[in-house]
Amino acid sequence: MGAYHGYNGIRFFNDATSTTQVMSINNGSDPLGQNDVYVNNALQAGGSLRAPIFYDSNNTGRYTDPASTSQMGTIEWDQLNARDRGDFITFYGDNSQYHSISSRDNGGSVTDDLRFNSYHDIFFNLDSNNNNSSGSTGFYVGMHGAATGGISGWYFQAMCDGNSYASGSFRAPIFYDRDNTGYYCNPSSSSNFNSYVRANEFYARNWFRNDNANEGNYNQATGVHAFSQQGQHYSVGGNSTGSSMSLTLFSSHSTNRRMWLHGGSDGYWGFLNSGGQWQLRSRYGDGYSPNLQFREEGNESWTGNPGNDVGKIEYHSNRFYIVAGGNSNRICQFRQNGSDRSYINNSGLYVGTATSARWADLAERYSADDMYDNATVMGINLDGDSEVTKWEPGMPLAGVISTNPAVQMNDMGIEPGSNSKKARMNPFIALKGRIPCLVSEPVKKGQWVIPAGDGKAKGVDYGTAGINSYEIIGIALSDSKDGEVEVKV
């Protein structure tokens, strides 16, 4: 044993096996007995300072019992020397036990205000250089676990985008619904949500897709549905069977309405103008014949010619207008089975087969040696290459140039109603009907009309002897006027 020194129950001795200086206070069998030891100033120990429990001298409700429960106020500590990862509070124990930092109420029971239970690791990394972070800036709050059941690394990780930012991000490869893993969010791939996702705006880099038919877009405020029912088919529906539906086209997002496609609850559908007035309307429903209605609702003004290469059908002033382009040679062409049947040219002349006509004569084109006026008396050209020329005595009579023939034969490929040189060099000669004829002198109604020379005619009394019947043009239907008379050929 070492050297021993003692005074009034206080013993000092040296441990023979070490250089440790030991002071022992002994009062009876109790090492401390009932006597306290009071130190005026600081108490300092060169080695360890040991006691079962340490109490606050002026508040015994605060104490530290390392082997049991401790009650303390604020705990502060500075960074440890020679460490570059901050300070640590470390829990030691069996991995089969949970260790926690918990808040307790006044009765000592654990509350849910603050509780950290860990079977594995929990990190609160406020140091951007900490090894548990994946970047060099920012701070992380997360849970990190060792490999268990095939899972290792971060279970979740909340990271601030930078030390200077107040807001941060929460990161994970995929987020699952905790009680139904069939629903999840994977920001870099597909996500599956049970009900709906609400946001002010949605942007898509590709398609918005629906899994089933009769699904699409629905406006909860108006009750309008836009959806696809079957292949190559898209529908827009309202909120009741008796509602009207409109598809409105704007030149901008919500202003400058240009056109409506409207289906009314009254059974009519069609197009409305920008003022909501019917432009083109039709009736649908069983028992109704197909029809289109062009409607005016207070607009009686002609909207103007369409210009070149444009045609239009317009209804105003209680009538239809069919308008061809300014560079067209026909107002309207009628076709059947890929072939032209009839048409109306730019002068309004109908070209086709008719059982009745406005004009009364039947005429045929013949070549002439010059251009002559309508109603000129023509004869057979005996000295030239043309078929007819202006009649002179001794010529066989050919007839009178028709003004507006109802039936035009042998058109020679000339556009009906044309006043071109070719048309005038190949005039229509009246064969049958009523026509105007130039006269050189007054003619009375009922007289025979015969050639008089210089392309004109004269009248002789009906039944005059010596008149060659082949030279009779026809019978005057009225008295002549202004150098012309109407003749029945």
Q: Which of 4-18, 177-191, 307-321, 421-435 has the lowest mean pLDDT?
A: 4-18
Cβ atoms of 140 and 128 within 8 Å: the answer is: no
Cβ atoms of 478 and 445 within 8 Å: the answer is: yes
> What percentage of residues in the chain have a pLDDT greater than 70?
71
Query: What pLDDT digit, counting tens, does each position of 273-287 carry?
Result: 777 888 788 877 667
Whether 60 and 118 share a structural domain: no
On whether residue 374 sits in a domain, the answer given is yes
Q: What is the mean pLDDT of residues 286-308?
A: 80
Q: What is the mean pLDDT of residues 159-185?
A: 69
On whether residue 124 sits in a domain, the answer given is yes
On whether residue 225 sits in a domain, the answer given is no
On whether residue 290 sits in a domain, the answer given is no
Number of H helices, E strands in the chain: 1, 37
Q: Which of 182-186, 219-223, 479-483 has the lowest mean pLDDT?
A: 219-223
Q: Is the pLDDT higher at 387 or at 88? A: 387
Mean model confidence pLDDT for the chain: 78
Q: Which residue has the tokens 């890929």?
A: 338
Q: Does 83 score more than 50 pLDDT?
A: no
User: pLDDT-based confidence at 124, cuts 50/70/90?
Assistant: low
Q: What is the CATH number of the domain that holds 432?
A: 2.40.300.10
Whether 377 and 480 share a structural domain: yes
Q: Which of 65-79, 80-94, 226-240, 388-402 has the lowest mean pLDDT?
A: 80-94
Per-residue pLDDT at 127? 47
On whether residue 104 sits in a domain, the answer given is yes
281-313 residues labelled b (16+ CB within 10 A) or e (exposed): bebeeeeeeeeeeeeeeeeeeeeeeeeeeeeee
Last residue of a domain, which of 185, 218, 237? 185
Q: Does 93 score more than 70 pLDDT?
A: no
Phi/psi of residue 482, nearest 5 degrees: 55, 35
Q: Does 64 score more than 60 pLDDT?
A: yes
Whether 165 and 121 share a structural domain: yes
Last residue of a domain, which of 168, 185, 202? 185
Rounded to the nearest 5 degrees, what angle is found at the Cα of 218, between the Cα atoms of 217 and 220? 155
Phi/psi of residue 254, nearest 5 degrees: -140, 10
Q: What is the mean pLDDT of residues 217-231?
A: 89
Q: Does 231 score more than 70 pLDDT?
A: yes
On whether residue 228 sits in a domain, the answer given is no
Q: Does 375 score more than 90 pLDDT?
A: yes
Q: How far apart are CA 374 and CA 358, in angstroms?
A: 18
Whether 119 and 43 share a structural domain: no
On whether residue 178 sits in a domain, the answer given is yes
What count of residues does the chain have?
489
Cβ atoms of 232 and 238 within 8 Å: the answer is: no
User: pLDDT-based confidence at 330, cuts 50/70/90?
Assistant: very high
Per-residue pLDDT at 270? 86
Residue numbers of the domain that contains 172 = 99-185
User: pLDDT-based confidence at 115, cuts 50/70/90?
Assistant: low
Whether 380 and 444 share a structural domain: yes
Per-residue pLDDT at 476? 96
Last residue of a domain, which of 137, 158, 185? 185
Which candidate, 239, 241, 212, 242, places its Cα nearest to that of 227? 212
Give the other-Cβ count within 10 Å of 44's Cβ.
7
Per-residue pLDDT at 32? 43
Q: Integer distance in angstroms from the first to the last C-alpha of the chain? A: 170
Whether 18 and 125 share a structural domain: no
Whether 46 and 129 share a structural domain: no
Among left, alpha and beta (phi > 0; psi -120 to 50; other), residue 93 is: left
Whether 481 and 367 share a structural domain: yes
Cβ atoms of 374 and 403 within 8 Å: the answer is: yes
Whether 161 and 43 share a structural domain: no
Q: How far apart are CA 387 and CA 421, in angstroms?
A: 16
Residue type, 467: I
Q: How many domains does the chain have?
A: 3
Whether 366 and 480 share a structural domain: yes
On whether residue 206 sits in a domain, the answer given is no
Cβ atoms of 171 and 153 within 8 Å: the answer is: no
Q: Is the pLDDT higher at 30 or at 238? A: 238
Per-residue pLDDT at 27? 47
Whether 482 and 366 share a structural domain: yes
Whether 36 and 125 share a structural domain: no
Sign of the Cα torsion 304, 305, 311, 317 reads positive
User: pLDDT-based confidence at 164, cuts 50/70/90?
Assistant: very low
Q: What is the mean pLDDT of residues 37-48?
A: 76
Per-residue pLDDT at 121? 55
C-alpha neighbours within 13 Å on the C-beta side of residue 101: 7
Which candidate, 349, 352, 402, places its Cα nearest to that of 377? 402
pTM: 0.40
Q: Would you give the DSSP letter of residue 286? A: T
For the purposes of burial, counting CB atoms within 10 Å of the CB of 123, is it exposed (0-12), middle (13-18) or buried (19 or more)? middle
